[in-house]
Chains A and B, each alone.
Chain A
Amino acid sequence: IAGITQAPTSQILAAGRRMTLRCTQDMRHNAMYWYRQDLGLGLRLIHYSNTAGTTGKGEVPDGYSVSRANTDDFPLTLASAVPSQTSVYFCASSASRGETQYFGPGTRLLVL
Chain B
Amino acid sequence: DQQVKQNSPSLSVQEGRISILNCDYTNSMFDYFLWYKKYPAEGPTFLISISSIKDKNEDGRFTVFLNKSAKHLSLHIVPSQPGDSAVYFCAASARRNAGNMLTFGGGTRLMVKP
Chain A residues within CB distance 8 Å of chain B: 4, 31, 33, 35, 40-45, 48, 50, 56, 58-59, 90, 92, 94, 97-106
Additional 7 contacts, C-beta under 8 A, given A97-B99, A98-B93, A103-B43: A42-B105, A44-B104, A45-B99, A103-B44, A105-B41, A105-B43, A106-B43
Q: How many angstroms between the C-alpha atoms of A100 and B44 in the bound complex? A: 12
0/1 string, B89-108, CB within 8 A of A gives 1: 10101010011111111110
Chain B residues within CB distance 8 Å of chain A: 4, 6, 9, 32, 34, 36, 41-46, 49, 89, 91, 93, 95, 98-107
Contact check, A56 vs B44: say whether CB atoms are below 8 A apart. no
Partner of B43, one of A41, A42, A90: A90
Contact check, A98 vs B44: say whether CB atoms are below 8 A apart. no
Contact check, A94 vs B100: say whether CB atoms are below 8 A apart. yes
B36: chain A residues within 8 A (beta carbon): 103
Contact check, B49 vs A100: say whether CB atoms are below 8 A apart. yes
Q: How many angstroms between the C-alpha atoms of A43 and B102 in the bound complex? A: 9
A105 to chain B, nearest CB (A): 5
A-B contact count (CB 8 A): 68
Contact check, A100 vs B34: say whether CB atoms are below 8 A apart. yes
A40: chain B residues within 8 A (beta carbon): 9, 106-107
Contact check, B100 vs A98: say whether CB atoms are below 8 A apart. yes
Contact check, B42 vs A97: say whether CB atoms are below 8 A apart. no
A102: chain B residues within 8 A (beta carbon): 46
A9 (CB) vs chain B CBs: closest residue:
B41
B45: chain A residues within 8 A (beta carbon): 103
Q: Which of A31, A90, A101, A105 has the most C-beta atoms of chain B within 10 angstroms of its own C-beta? A: A101
Contact check, A48 vs B101: say whether CB atoms are below 8 A apart. yes
A48: chain B residues within 8 A (beta carbon): 99-101
| Sample (10) of A-B pairs whose CB atoms are under 8 Å apart | A40-B107, A44-B104, A45-B101, A58-B99, A90-B43, A97-B99, A98-B100, A100-B34, A101-B100, A102-B46
A38 (CB) vs chain B CBs: closest residue:
B106
Contact check, A98 vs B32: say whether CB atoms are below 8 A apart. yes
Task: Known A42-B4, A106-B42; judge A58-B101 contact (CB<8 A).
Answer: yes
